[in-house]
Amino acid sequence: MSLRIRPDLDDLPVYVPGKTFPGAVKLASNEVTDGPLPSVIDAITAAAAGANRYPDNGMVELTASLAKRLGVTEDEIQVGCGSVILCQNLILITSGRGDEVVFGWRSFETYPLATRVAGATPVQVPLTGDLTHDLRAMAAAVTDRTRLIFVCNPNNPTGTVVEAADLHEFLTRVPSDVIVALDEAYFEYQRLPAPQAYDALQLRREFPNLVILRTFSKAYGLAGLRIGYAVADPEIITALGKVHVPFSVSSVAQAAAVASLDAGDELLARTDAVVAERARVTERLRAAGYRVPDSQANFVWLDLGASSMDFARACVDAGVVVRPFAGDGVRVTVTNSDEDDAFLRFAESWDGSRG
């Protein structure tokens, strides 16, 4: 068949999530293992009973709740069905054919894919040798055609972070009319000491071109409901509102997010256990000879290069699903000691090259 489908999509890969199977330990998608709290289940059940009605397209209750918690105004928030759609919508409001979107590489796979879908050109700036964003090179990559920059922090899949002073300097170098999206999907797992840590909400006051992206999928444990949000200048939020697909955030997701914010302290306290596991897993992997950068997220990166696919295949055979990136490395979610031990047993006994 020859149909009038855009030919520039021909060589675009389809996103393939890690395959899983019954009984597998699933460490491929950076999910948490705990299900929603009882109060969140109650909110979900109540919202489900009204599923004959369309959801609140203005997402009023959730927006008000987020504004209060974050100390921003409601016109500085846009909710979307997952922060992935907000990445895509930021590209849509800024970039089309001939425009450039700059981001570090390797990073979140949506950036190049969604840029290509919009017909724009991805500009991938290699990470530094220690697998962090090369912010100077990223600033230097900005041209007249640049419309948007993604800084994924902590970076998926390496778990590495940029430091406050470097981020500040970067923002002063970027032209003030270029939007910088700071993708903080894993923000709640960061434990940086004071001089290195930055406060994105504060930075945004100084740099109105900064957009913060966060999600309920990770620390808040609502990956299956698809809900995330952007915090930005009202001018950017208004534009995001224009490309928002009406009613795309379900009433169940909105209710669950409100209830999760209400239980925020309890949910965020759970991240401490993951942070402790992250230190344990990193140490054990390093002791076993793997190169593992310091991670500030709920996953670790094994810098396995050419062995990545072999390692991941053997790991799946051992019942643990991890996420390989061909020729580059393997990302492994950190969850609880039982699941992490299942992975460590495999990793410590693997007799292939450790990079």
Contacting residues toward ligand PMP, per CB under 6 A: 30, 82-84, 108, 152, 156, 183, 185, 215, 217, 223, 228
What are the structure tokens assigned to 97, written together?
């054919």
- 260 or 307: whose CB is closer to ligand PMP? 260
Q: Are 277 and 332 in contact (CB under 8 A)?
A: no
d(CA 78, CA 58) in angstroms, rounded, equals 9
- Residue 265 has which token pair? 């302290």
Nearer CB in complex with ligand PMP: 83/271? 83
Residue number, 35 or 289, with CB nearest to ligand PMP: 35
Judge if the upstream peptide bond of residue 157 is cis by omega within 30 degrees of 0.
yes
C-beta of 90: minimal distance to ligand PMP in Å? Answer: 11
Q: Which residue is nearest to ligand PMP (CB)?
A: 82
Least Å distance, CB 327 to ligand PMP, is 20
Cis peptide before 106 (omega within 30 of 0): yes
Q: Bridge-partner residues for 329, per DSSP?
A: 325
Residue 185 Cβ, how far from ligand PMP at the closest point, in Å?
A: 4
Question: Residue 2 corresponds to which amino acid?
Answer: S
Measured from the CB atom, is 108 or 198 closer to ligand PMP? Answer: 108
Compare residues 180 and 344 and give the one whose CB is closer to ligand PMP.
180
Query: Burial, 125: exposed, middle or buried (Cβ in 10 Å; 0-12, 13-18, 19+)?
Result: buried
> Which of 295/307 has CB closer to ligand PMP?
295
Kind and range of the H or E run holding 346:
helix 337-349
Span between the terminal Cα atoms of the chain, in Å: 45
Minimum gap (Å) between residue 253 Cβ and ligand PMP:
11
Instruction: Report the nearest approach of ligand PMP to the CB of residue 81 (Å).
Output: 8
The 3-state DSSP class for residue 228 equals strand
Minimum CB separation of residue 351 from ligand PMP in Å reads 31
